[in-house]
Each structure stands twice: as structure tokens, then as C-alpha cells.
Amino acid sequence: MQLRRVVITGLGALTPVGNSAQETWQSLVKGVSGIAPITSFDASLFKTHFAGEVKGFDPTTLIDRKDARKMDRYAQFSVCVADEALRDSGLNLENEDRSRVGVIWGSGMGGLQTTEEEIIDFAKGDGVPRFNPFMIPKAIPSIAAGLISIRFGLGGLSFSVSTACSSSSHAVASAFDQIRLGHADVLLSGGADADVTYTGIGGFNSLHALSTRNDSPETASRPFSKSRDGFVLGEGAACLILEEYEHAVARGAKIYAEMLGEGMTSDAYHMTAPDPDGKGAERVMRLALRDAGLQPEDIDYINTHGTSTPLGDVTEIKAIERVFGKHVYEMNLDSTKSMTGHMIGATGAVEALACVMALKEGIIPPTINHDPEDIDEEIDYAINFTFDKAQKRDIRYALSNTFGFGGHNACLIFKKWEE
């Protein structure tokens, strides 16, 4: 069958560096760090005292106060970024067959804050089990997709993806497939997580996964530097409007970029650690390139997973080197997690948004916090990691990697929009 083309026509975001897609993009270009001491609870008893929090967020500016109380923070994020992306797209739902418009959403943890609060309240109580009647619908990772569908009356396909850190990349990949196969005309896709909680910080600390650079939080996320000591937990959400090309053209839509391909693999190796040989990461990039009909030398920019973990960064770079060969020295690589931290289920969508904007604007955001003297002997610094400052470049094709606990790998490829 003839596969349909898919374009990106709307963007929305809430991140540690901005409360909209455009504010997030401008902060990324400027190299702004969104990492700071945690304000939402007292983290002083934990090994890590800092995170990437969304700042100044008030859900009631968009969501009725009574309804907002029935939503976990991650779901509030989700509804708000979906609303922004829809407005940005200019899509008039009154003119649409809403059975052809749907939602595919990602979340790694779902309503962690809600689950935590309910269990703490129960433990403090008199032993009689009393739980909020909305506890379950607030906590489940699938509720965000349902709430978005309900809010906008979208009767098309609606489901959620939970593959840890790659959740929203898998969601976007799935939306791409559903549209090009003809199962939908428009899909709202992305993801959200709000894991900066006692449980989130404590749980990742117990895994020895987080940086403990408490004396300098804003420089703690330092991908590709030898002194990296773990990732920085973040929170946030992003939404992309994926639309069938002819449908977008027919309504005169603004088009940001075209999506060309996706890849999905499993390491099949370990619960939390990547395959040290990077075989799953290598395969996922090769699959995405084949799906997009591209050669390795076509790619200009890679937004790496780049979490700032000792093993993960090296493993990913080695896989990139095998896939791209000598062309690795002709590309720009970066890690926007150096600014946002790791937003778990939201990270893939935020980084896809960064790729889309980089293609549109011809600017590659930097990887911040690198000291030229802080050299990891296992990393080839002849590769352009876009350290310190954004770089202007005419980018034709961009690739985004995300890898999650359990060995879940996803890769997305986007193309610059040319009339």
C-alpha cells in the first residue's frame, strides 16, 4: 500500500526551562539551565537535593479548579500542552470528523505523586482504609490520553504507551505509523511525567542513578564529560500535532517539519543498564534510517539520549560511531538534557520538539556544562557535541534517540519542511 506522508503542525510544552513551546525553545538555544534546588518538598534528607522542576505552573489558568483537583500533576501538564499545541496548529475541531482525530500519549510513571500522597495519608491514619475515590483514575498512566480526548471531544483512537524514558518517543512513533497507515488524520502525541517527589528522588537515589552534585545543581547534568555522576531528574510535558500531509495542506496549515521514519528495538539485556555494546541502540538507528529511506550521511543533527550517566553516554556514542562511520565528524550532536534534566516519559517528546525547531530555525541547541579539561578517554572529542553555545546550521534531517529502563529503544527522524 502507498503510505501517507506525515507532518508536524503544532507544538506545546511545559519544561524546566519554559512554560510554552516557544519559551522552551528560546531557553534551549540560549543554553539556560532549568536545574535548581527542589522547592516542592524538603529534599535535605536525600542524597540529591535538586531537580528540574516546572516553575510557576498554575493549572487553573486553563482547567476548572474542581476538575484540576481530580488530576495528578502529570495529567494537568498533559492537558495544558495538548491545548497549546492545538491552538498553535490552528486546527478547527468544529470542521473535523473527530472520529479521525485522536491521542497517543506516553508516561513512564503516571500519577506517582497521587500514589505517594494516598499511601502516606493511609499510613498516618487510624488503620481504617480511606482513599480518595479518584485515586485510581488520577494515578494510572493511561488517564492523560483519556483526559485529552474527553476535553476536546476526540473520538478517534486513543491509547497510552509506557516504556520508561522512551515512552513519548514510542508514542510519537506509534502516531506516525497510525496516520501513514490511514487509521487517523490527526493525532495529538507526546508525553508527560511529574516524578520530582519523595518517591521519585528516593527511588532513583537508591539505584545510584542521580547526580549528587548538590553544591552546583545548575552544572550537574554534564553529558559527555568525565566527571558526570548520574542524571538529573526533571518533570514536564510536550505535545506534537501529527497530521496527514494532504489534510494539512487542504486547511492551509502551518507546517513545522515532516516526519520520515521511526525505529524501535529492545536491548534484551538488563532492567536498568544499557547493553554495554550498544547493540540495541545501533539497531534502532539503522531501522529508523531504513524506514526513512535515508543513508547515514544524510543526517545533519542528532539529539542524543545523553543522560549524563557514566555508562549510558559512552554506550550511545559508540553505537553512533558504528552507524555513521566517518560521517560522525560531519554532524552536530547535542544533549538538551544538560539543560532540562531527564523528564522520563516526557523527554522523547521534548527532544522531538527540539529537533523540529532546529530544522525550522537552522539552529542547534548546545550541550552545556562541559569543561574542555574534563576529558573522558572513551569519548572522541573530534565529534561536534555542540558544547557551550548554539550553532547555526542549515539542517535537512534530524534524528532523536531515547532509551529506557528495560532496554526500550526508540529513534525518530524528521525532515526540514520545504515548500
d(C-alpha 228, C-alpha 244), whole Å: 42
Cell numbers 547493540 correspond to: 279
- Is 342 catalytic? The answer is yes
Cell numbers 505509523 correspond to: 177
Work out the burial of residue 132: count CB atoms within 10 Å of its CB; fewer than 13 is exposed, 13-18 middle, 19 or more buried: middle
Active-site pick, 49, 170, 247, 342: 342
Residues in the chain, overall count: 419
- Count the alpha carbons within 13 Å of 372 in the hemisphere toward its beta carbon: 4
Work out the burial of residue 399: count CB atoms within 10 Å of its CB; fewer than 13 is exposed, 13-18 middle, 19 or more buried: buried
- Is 165 catalytic? The answer is yes
Cα 307 to chain centroid, rounded = 12
d(C-alpha 173, C-alpha 157), whole Å: 15
Active-site pick, 247, 305, 370, 408: 305
Cβ–Cβ under 8 Å, residues 383 and 328:
yes
SS3 36: strand
DSSP tag of 32: -
Cβ–Cβ under 8 Å, residues 173 and 264:
yes
Active-site pick, 49, 80, 165, 239: 165
Catalytic residue numbers? Answer: 165, 305, 342
